[in-house]
Amino acid sequence: MRATPNTRYAKGLLWLLAGLWAVLLLGAFVARQADALLVEQAPVAGNTFTTAASFATNYYLHNNPSPPTGNTASQTNLPLNETAPTATTLYNYDTNRDASAGLLIAKGGSGASEADTTKYQSWRTAALGSSLTINGTVDVILWSAIKDFGLNKQGSVRVFLRDYNGSSYTEICNGTLTQSNWQGGSSTWVSKTISFTCSSYTIPAGNRLEVKLIVNASADDSMGFAYDTTSYDSRAVLP
């Protein structure tokens, strides 16, 4: 029995619909696989993929005024914010202590409560416009040096993150880095990263985030710090 034109047309339409359905199924499968790769893709050597949820926030250490325009005396509390440095010259930030560029902190700091202004430096944000939650690994990247770029000497630095409400402090977390040969043979500023874990803590809106830095007594000498320039962009990196 020969197929009529209507029968051939119906069969063709069925084949066309089946083909379209197969294309739709294939598209849905590919989309699912792509989503899975974006969420759970394993690291590949030489490649790094970062999801939006894992972007970190840089809080840069600044001098006052910022950008720096010249030498200044030391100041107990300095600005901390998300604005990257734009200055290209490192000035002397403590003319009342020495004649060298950067800021010198005397060794022997006793901890977060250290009150001798020659033995610590603090940086604070402005009052936060919204709450800030810190949870995970914090990296504090410091350009630093042993006093007079002394070689073959031990350096030891401790950093505190604190919540400041205008009258009192709550310590959030802290970290220490000690190295027996801080300069590593270098006669200039060296970049060091102090990494430590902060359990989930939320700074309320209106309070300030503070980064406080001391040089431990175990250091062989006082230590200098460079910041607020494009070359020496010392900062706290929050998760």
Q: What is the pLDDT of residue 81?
A: 98
- Using CA atoms, how far apart are residues 9 and 171, in angstroms rounded to an integer? 78
Alpha carbons 142 and 236: distance in angstroms, whole number: 9
Q: How many CB atoms lie within 10 A of CB 34?
A: 10
For residue 125, the tally of other CB atoms under 10 A from its CB is 18
Count other C-beta atoms under 10 Å from residue 12's C-beta: 10
**pLDDT tens profile 133-185:** 999 999 999 999 999 999 999 999 999 999 999 999 999 999 999 999 999 99
Query: Does 218 have pLDDT greater than 90?
Result: yes
Q: Are 203 and 132 in contact (CB under 8 A)?
A: yes
32 compared with 222, residue with greater pLDDT: 222
Q: Which residue do the tokens 């919540």 mark?
A: 163
CB 203 within 8 A of CB 131: yes
At residue 55 the predicted structure's pLDDT band, cuts being 50, 70 and 90, is: confident
Q: What is the Cα–Cα distance from 114 to 110, expressed in whole angstroms?
A: 5
Mean pLDDT of the chain: 87
Residue 202, CB half-sphere, CA atoms under 13 Å: how many? 4
DSSP secondary structure string for all residues of 74-115: --SEEEEESPPP------BS-TTT-SSSBEEE-B---STT--
List of long-range contacts for 26-35, beta carbons under 8 Å, 24+ apart: none
Q: How many helices (H) and strands (E) does the chain have?
A: 1, 11
CB 139 within 8 A of CB 235: no
Selected residue with higher pLDDT from 164 and 37: 164
Q: What per-residue confidence (pLDDT) applies to 4?
A: 53
Residue with token string 């197969």: 22
Residue 36, pLDDT > 60, answer no
User: How large a percentage of the chain has pLDDT more than 90?
Assistant: 77
pLDDT in tens, 8-30: 555 555 555 555 555 555 555 54
Q: Per-residue confidence at 52, pLDDT binned at 50, 70, 90?
A: very low
- Name the pLDDT band for 34 (thresholds 50, 70, 90): very low
Question: What H or E segment, with its residue span, contains residue 235?
Answer: strand 235-238
What is the Cα–Cα distance from 112 to 130, expressed in whole angstroms? 25
Regarding pTM above 0.75, the answer is yes
Q: Which residues does 141 contact at the CB level (< 8 Å), separation at least 6? A: 191, 192, 193, 233, 234, 235, 236, 237
| Partners of 81 in the β-ladder | 60
Q: What is the mean pLDDT of residues 92-119?
A: 98
